Amino acid sequence: MATDTPLRPADSAALDENRSQSRPAPPASGWTPRLRRLIGIDEPLLAWVPEERARYTWYGALVVNTALLGALSMVLALSSFRSDLPLAAVVGVAVVWFWVVLALDSWLVSSTHGTTVRKWTLLVRFFLSVLLGLFIAEPILFQIFDKEIRQSIAVGNEQKVADYRGMLVSCNPTDGASTTDRRECARHQLKVAGSPAELARQIKSNGDRAKTLSTQVAGINKTLSARQSTEQRLCGPKYWIWRGGVRDVTITCERAREATSEYERNSKVKTYEKQLEGLVAQGQKLAARKDGAADDYQPLLQKAVDDKTRQRAADLDTDGILTRAAGLKEVAESDGFALFLTIVLHLLLLCLDAMPVLAKVLSGVTTYDTLLGARHRASRTLFAEELQVQHTCARMEHDVQRHRVEWDTTDRMRRLEQEHQRAQAERAAQERAELEARMGRIMRARGV
């Protein structure tokens, strides 16, 4: 009976098998590891906590979604502001921008793993995410409010054109009167030939010149008349003389005639008289033109105003980024609900763009972060110990080298001493042999 009684319930075996799941877990396959690799997840380390694989998989999906949203925003921006670009260029720029956003968000997320992440670093990363979100959100908002923005821009441009035309009409009266004394008319004055005021100024200028020239001609003629009177008086019969049996004028008369002719030539009175006749004729023509100038000037002025107005309307921007931003601002300011909707969409898009960092802030410290922090601490400890080992080994190696050098030095010194002693002994033997030879010669010389 005892052998037939189970030690524990039958269903507890499966429970124990689930509890005793192997660690680390088998490597994952498919596209999920690639998503986690984008945010810097270490798969062998995550295998120790396979329960968090799903969390980090969706974490990587958030990063990819943000990059896709950025690429879509860039396509919308280029399509709105540079409609002349070919499709290949738009796609190429969108792909590059996708990669830039993906790399930035991947760095922002991967740098938050671990338990040593400080709050201020998360704030800095969140600030960078908000800046990136603002750049991504604006083109999307432009597309959402495209109809309202275009209507606001059209109304604003019409008002600008109407105001510009009003200034042209105000600063260019139909009678052609000058408006140079008005500061606001400095950039709105038109140059239209044939205005009544311009003709009046020309008539006045022509009359002044004719009057001045007439006075000059009258003065010359007066002087010339006086000289001619003097000439007639000096050349009269009263002053004739007999010369060769014939009555003739005196040399004084000839000098008077020569002086009168020279003055008439030098004074250019004939030229001045012709110029005066031309000025008089021009004055008559200007006076005749002035009578019909009012009827001819108004159509020319109207045409010039119309041309300037059309040019102004053509120069106004309708698709520029600053113009559309100003249009979005006017749409938001014109209606309370539009302002509320704009703020809500801004916040929504900013949250979507900053979601990778927000997800890290909201999720807090995970088991993977704890393991990664432990690995970092272990790595620092191992590295410090490795440095100590390397330092100890290097110091021992230096001791061995120093000991080797000391023994080598001692051995070399011993050899040097032996060589020195041997050399001294050899020199002593040579000196002794030389002394003995010298003594032998001395002794032989003395006959000993």
Reported as a single tens digit per residue, the pLDDT across 114-170 is 755 556 666 776 677 677 667 777 777 777 777 777 788 888 888 888 888 888 888
Q: Is the pLDDT higher at 239 or at 228?
A: 228
CB 164 within 8 Å of CB 190: no
Distance CA 20, CA 42 (A): 23
| pLDDT surpassing 50 at residue 15 | no
Q: Tens digit of pLDDT for each residue in 242-269?
A: 666 666 666 777 777 787 788 777 777 7
Residues 6 or more apart whose CB falls under 8 angstroms from that of 47 comprise 23, 24, 25, 26, 27
Residue pair 224/269 in contact by the 8 Å Cβ criterion: yes
**How far separated are the first and last CA of the chain, in Å rounded?**
137
* Radius of gyration, alpha carbons of the chain: 57
- In order of 62, 245, 253, the CA distances from 324 in angstroms are 30, 111, 94
Residue type for 170, please? S
Contact 115, 373 (CB under 8 A): yes
pTM over 0.95: no
**What's the pLDDT at 17?**
47
- Tell me the per-residue pLDDT of 173-188, one tens digit each, with 9 for 90 and over: 776 666 767 787 777 7
430: exposed, middle or buried (Cβ count in 10 Å: 0-12, 13-18, 19+): exposed
Answer whether 116's CB lies under 8 Å from 294's CB: no
At 227 the pLDDT is 76
Where are the domains positioned within the chain?
A: 24-144+335-401, 193-316
